[in-house]
Structure formats: structure tokens, C-alpha cells
Amino acid sequence: MPIEVERNDIIVVERINKTFVGGIKALVDFSTHIRRGEVVVVIGPSGSGKSTFLRCLNGLEEIDSGSIVIDGILLDDAKKNRLEIRKEVGMVFQQFNLFPHMTVLENVTLAQRRVRKKSKQAARAMSMDLLEKVGIDEKADSYPSQLSGGQQQRVAIARALAMMPKVMLFDEATSALDPEMIGEVLDVMKDLAREGMTMVCVTHEMGFAREVSDRVIFMEDGKIVEVGTAEHFFTAPVEDRTRLFLSQIL
């Protein structure tokens, strides 16, 4: 499927393939493009390759063939390119992955100081702004173990945002949270979407998808089954498999 590469595309994925050791084909000739400021939600059954796709976007997983271009930079073996992309793409994990031996504030300032080479004061100022934005500035000197899951995930979002990325990837960011905490994290994500951040989210939260996504991609067995706007998706899906999946989760 040829991609029409528009000027406004920030991510261009062309026919990527990924097979895991053991022969499992995670991604098969997968292609897509994502515009600046677009919020794309990726849904699909377990094992469909959606997390793998996300992790390929910032280089956590290596592709076997095909190409990924992010903000004009080709994701290849060149160290310089990889580093640029890692700086421009932020990721939020299902398991938060905060650094337990550092306070919340230190978690958020670390990469700013080490990678962006900011001064202590500048990093601290930015960190406090971001913590305030996600609603946990009063916990700045606490350790991650002292926070609830929802609070930890919000710190993780602030930490990723501190690098001022152009794209934010969310890998099932709310799947490990207790139901009453999902809302607070989704609120932060919705705010982010409304502010114009380019986001790619793997999620099961259909309410979130309907509310803020520009496009929904449904994947199965490493391939795209259907792509469309949220409206189209939830009111008039075309493919049978899409309809089946939606009936199971909605």
C-alpha cells in the first residue's frame, strides 16, 4: 500500500517487518503515516503487534526490514540518528518504570540535566511546572514508592514531557492502574492531546479514543485491518473482524 507522504507528516512508517525469535511474526509489511499534532489510537487483540509497533517507533525494538522516518530522521544504525530520535520521542510505559532510588523531582530533572545539558535551576523550574501541570507538584520530594499508581504514572508522563519531545508514545498507560485512578491519567493525556501534542496510544480505553483521537488503527496479526476516524470506527466499521473485536470490548 503506497503511502502518500504529506509535508505535515512527522512519522512515516514504510513496510516494516518484525519477526521474533521462534518465528512469531509481530509486524507484517506494516505501513502508516502520522501527521504533526495527530492523536492516533492503536487497538487490537492481544498479540496483534500493537505494542511492538509502538516500540519500533523509538527504537526499543529493531525492525527486520522497511523504514521508519521520524521528523525527517531515518531510524537506522547511525548513533547520531538514534540519539536524536530518542530525544524527540517520549514514551510512557504500562509499568511506569520510575527510578525508585530517586525522588519524583529527581526523576523528572535527570534527563534534562544529563541529555539536554540544562542547569540545575532551569531543570528544576521546568520540572516543577510540569509536575504542577499533571497535578502532583506537592509530591516533588516524595519517592515513587510513596505514591499511588495513578500518581506514579502522572510523574512518568511529566518525566517524558520534560525532554520536550515532538511525539509521545503511550504503551497501555492505564492498563496497570486501579479503575479509580485511570481517570486522572486519562485527563492528563486528554489535556496533552488538546494542546496539540502528536500522540500514538496503544490503549483499551475506548472512551478516551472516542473523545480525543483523530484516527484509530485496528491491528490484528501484525497487519492493519482497518483505519479510520474515531467517528467512523465506532459508528460504522467496515471490516467484519473490526466489528467482532468491537463487540467483544464495548
- Of 35, 31, 51, which Cα lies nearest the Cα of 43? 51
Alpha carbon distance 228, 42 (integer Å): 11
Q: Under the criterion CB under 8 A, does residue 234 sit at the interface with other proteins?
A: no
Residues 101-130 within binding reach of other proteins (CB under 8 A): 101, 110-111, 114-115
| Closest CB 158 distance from other proteins, rounded Å | 12
Name the minimum Å distance from CB 91 to other proteins.
4
Distance CA(33)–CA(71), nearest Å, equals: 11
Question: Could you say which of 98, 134, 177, 199 contacts other proteins (CB under 8 A)?
Answer: 98
Residue with grid cell 544529563, as numbered in its chain: 114
By CB under 8 A, the residues from 171 to 230 that bind other proteins are: none
Cβ-in-10-Å burial (0-12, 13-18, 19+) of 240 comes to: exposed
Look-up of cell digits 525532554: 163
What residues from 31 to 70 belong to the interface with other proteins (CB under 8 A)? 58-60
Closest approach, Cβ 192 to other proteins, in A, equals: 16
Report, in Å, the least distance between residue 29 CB and other proteins. 26
3-state secondary structure of 74: strand
Measured distance CA(175)–CA(177) in Å, rounded:
6
Closest CA to 89 of 198, 214, 201: 198
Query: 3-state DSSP call for residue 128?
Result: helix
**Site for other proteins contains 160 (CB under 8 A):** yes
Stretch that binds other proteins, among 18-26, 27-35, 133-141, 155-163 (CB under 8 A): 155-163
Minimal distance in Å, beta carbon 188 to other proteins? 18
Task: Enumerate binding residues for other proteins (CB under 8 A).
Answer: 58-60, 83, 86-87, 89-91, 93, 95, 97-101, 110-111, 114-115, 143-145, 156, 159-160, 163
